[in-house]
Copies of this chain bind each other. A is one copy, B any other.
């Protein structure tokens, strides 16, 4: 029997917990501070609606103190909550390999300070928690897992988590170097999300505007230079942008959603993450720096009296 603990049971954590819990000989625990969601999951199971319809048996707790030691972990909190949430689960992960499925760069570095072995994860599925105990599965997408190099999980652990996710219905790839898919997603998000956040434009109008598309391309080019210096191979980001412009024309990137709700954004792990890696690699990233400065300025304006 494999025991897995999911830390952070918002939309992504819930989707992953539910799919894992469909697999035979896998016991799934979930930790989240939202008491109503936790109680509904623990009492009635975690219900998935939308693209799939099923109920999965998940043990949910508001405190990691009530979770037994696990073999594998998945961290799905917002980046800013990683350290506190995982530190509180130290005994759960004392002998575990733990994957981050969070947005951006830098999450694995935090995990590496807190757990024995780390898995670099990148995911594309999307959904939303529609009621306590219920997550709507909106968009499918692959998952990529690989060892986090400075404190790596073993290839067997990466393969095991990958195998369980595939059995549960989430197509997952176990890689020796998972940096490429991670940077694909980070670059795509960093080149589009802050522009959406600053202008208020959804993906279609944003990326089909020639002047803004020039900015998208310039942000991509800067990030590619960082990847080149780090030996990371990235995909055809321009093609991803072209596709999103058409198939997700009305989509408001999460950073725009955060701005509209006046929530702190994830710019620090997106453009800020690229800029930090650029500094390590000796590659200047003035355009990503500008995005960080502008988005932080916008966040700060909410605190100003006017």
Chain A interface (Cβ < 8 Å from any Cβ of B): 195, 198-202, 205-206, 209, 211-212, 214-215, 218, 286-287, 289-290, 292-294, 296-298, 300-302, 304
- 12 A-B pairs in the complex with CB atoms less than 8 angstroms apart: A199-B294, A199-B298, A199-B300, A200-B301, A200-B304, A201-B304, A205-B300, A211-B289, A214-B289, A215-B290, A218-B286, A287-B290
Cβ distance A31 to chain B, nearest Cβ, rounded Å = 35
16 other A-B residue contacts (CB within 8 Å) besides A198-B297, A200-B298, A205-B301: A199-B297, A199-B300, A200-B297, A200-B302, A201-B297, A201-B304, A202-B304, A206-B297, A209-B296, A211-B293, A211-B296, A212-B293, A212-B297, A214-B289, A287-B290, A290-B290
Q: Is the interface of A mostly helix, strand, loop or mixed?
A: helix
Q: What residues of chain B lie closer than 8 Å to A202, measured between beta carbons?
A: 304
Inter-subunit contact A293/B215 (CB<8 Å): yes
- This chain's copy number in the assembly: 2
Residue from B206, B289, B290, B300 in contact with A201 in the complex, judged by beta carbons closer than 8 Å: B300
Residue from B206, B214, B293, B296 in contact with A214 in the complex, judged by beta carbons closer than 8 Å: B293
Q: What residues of chain B lie closer than 8 Å to A292, measured between beta carbons?
A: 211
Cβ distance A302 to chain B, nearest Cβ, rounded Å = 8
Cβ distance A46 to chain B, nearest Cβ, rounded Å = 32
Q: What residues of chain B lie closer than 8 Å to A201, measured between beta carbons?
A: 297, 300-301, 304
Inter-subunit contact B298/A212 (CB<8 Å): no
Closest to A295 in B: B199
A212 to B298, CA, bound (A): 11
A286 to B217, CA, bound (A): 12
Q: Which 10 A-B pairs have the closest CB atoms?
A: A199-B297, A200-B301, A211-B293, A199-B298, A212-B293, A201-B301, A198-B198, A201-B297, A212-B297, A199-B301
